[in-house]
Structure 1
């Protein structure tokens, strides 16, 4: 298993917040919600808007440009047959927030617990 990458401290992102981080050469959106920590590719597949700038509610992030909505756990779109975005496993160890260096395979994560602090 590949080593997770430290991307932030838990104090960098309060609950309800999101931010862009770098994992290897990928730009990843990191989300901290009341349900835990989540990470998705940071680029909406529609027109490239950073998802880290989107609106988070009810376990989903909505792109600020055209309201495409993605499940924070899986990266799947919540409507239509459009392609979603890659989702990454997130771990919280002490004060460190760690993200897997590679996205999960499509469909993985449906039954995975999310990291909580």
Structure 2
């Protein structure tokens, strides 16, 4: 698969222990600041069309604001009911104080 790195945000725009949502090349993406790293997933829950950026981030897990299902932001793994499908993740790199996401 071809890599397609897109500048997403300034690194300091992604708060530690929090999540932000943004439109990136027409896609709704969530960026998470966890333990000094940044992770990226689709911003829409796979169970109920809720935006994950409106959820609660605890450690590496984002809780959907609609039905309280949780995803691991590192792998996209659905961690509990009512979720049955994982959320898509994207590779992230930090360069020059900016966050880049591979939408490849």
Structure 1 length normalisation: TM-score?
0.79
Q: CA RMSD in A?
A: 1.5
Query: Which runs of structure 1 show a deviation greater than 2 angstroms over 4 or more consecutive aligned residues?
Result: none
The worse-fitting range, judged by mean Cα deviation, of 27-36 and 69-78 is 27-36
- Contact 2:29/2:41, CA 8 A, preserved across alignment: yes
Higher fraction of strand: 2
Looking at structure 2, the residues matched to 100 and 91 of structure 1 have their Cα atoms a distance apart, in angstroms, of 8
Deviation, structure 1 residue 79: 2.5
Where structure 2 has 5 or more consecutive residues not aligned to the other structure, the ranges are none
Partner of 2:34: 33
Structure 2 length normalisation: TM-score?
0.88
Where structure 1 has 5 or more consecutive residues not aligned to the other structure, the ranges are 103-117
Q: Per chain length, whose mean CA-contact separation is higher, i.e. which structure has more relative contact order (CA < 8 Å, sep 6+)?
A: 2
